[in-house]
Amino acid sequence: METVFSISNYLVENQIKFSTCTLLAGALTWWNSHVRTVGHDVTYAMTWTYLKKKMTDKYCPRVEIKKLEAELWNLKVKGTDVIGYNQHFQELALLCVRMFPEESDKIEIYVGGLPDMIHGSLVASKPKTMQEAIKIATELMDKKICTFAKRWTENKRKQDDNHQQPQQQQNKRQNTGRAYTVGSGEKKPYGGSKTLCAKCNYHHDGLYAPKCHKYN
């Protein structure tokens, strides 16, 4: 709402009228009751700061704020979801302003919720603002996710290669066995007139001639 005031150049005396026209359901009922109680002129003479206080007292009582402060204090990144962490942290921080007297206090609590994989690097970078801390944390996590994806791809490829090697060896043995079987089955008995040599087990005439087993 304050952003709307800023970009639309709303006059101070018109801020209460404009903002309360956006209320719905139970909030609108609450506001109309307040107008009837104190009167139209008194109601629209209040400041924006006072209206925020009244709305905070009504919808964000201290007991509820303490619950949100506890949630913010214990907020951690789930897995690698830094984007979700950033969004929820900033939503809670808007209501838990008492936790952050200085910007450095907010940064300290934000950094405390980051995972170990990027915590040390962000601390070493020494961010001066929340915007800077969020930007660095997001970039660091993106790099980690890319590294994880690369390692997963490499491990998957190695697993596939290790799986294929035994299969290839098995296929090779099967192919060799089939070739041996077919080769043995296709061998035909000798039908010539030469005598069988007892030394070399081949049919030839004359004396046995030594054979080179390297070059056949």
| Helices 116-125 and 130-186, axial angle in degrees (round to 10) | 140
Best CA proximity match to 100, nearest among 72, 126, 75, 125:
72
The answer to whether the pTM exceeds 0.75 is no
Residue 74 pLDDT = 92
3-state secondary structure of 203: strand
Q: What is the pLDDT along the chain (216 residues), one digit of tens a residue?
A: 777 877 877 777 777 778 887 888 888 888 888 888 878 877 777 888 888 888 888 888 888 889 999 999 999 999 888 999 999 999 999 888 888 888 888 999 998 999 888 888 888 988 989 899 999 999 988 888 888 778 777 777 777 667 666 666 666 666 655 555 545 445 566 667 777 777 777 777 766 666 666 776
- What is d(CA 207, CA 71) in angstroms, rounded to the nearest whole number? 102
183-186 own/partner pairs: CB under 8 Å, 24+ apart: none
* Region label for 206, one of left (φ > 0), alpha (ψ between -120 and 50) or beta (otherwise): left
Show the tokens assigned to 50. 């006072």
**Sheet strands (E) in the chain:** none
Burial class for 110, CB neighbours closer than 10 Å (0-12, 13-18, 19+): buried
Beta bridge partners of 203: 196
Show the tokens assigned to 117. 């994989």
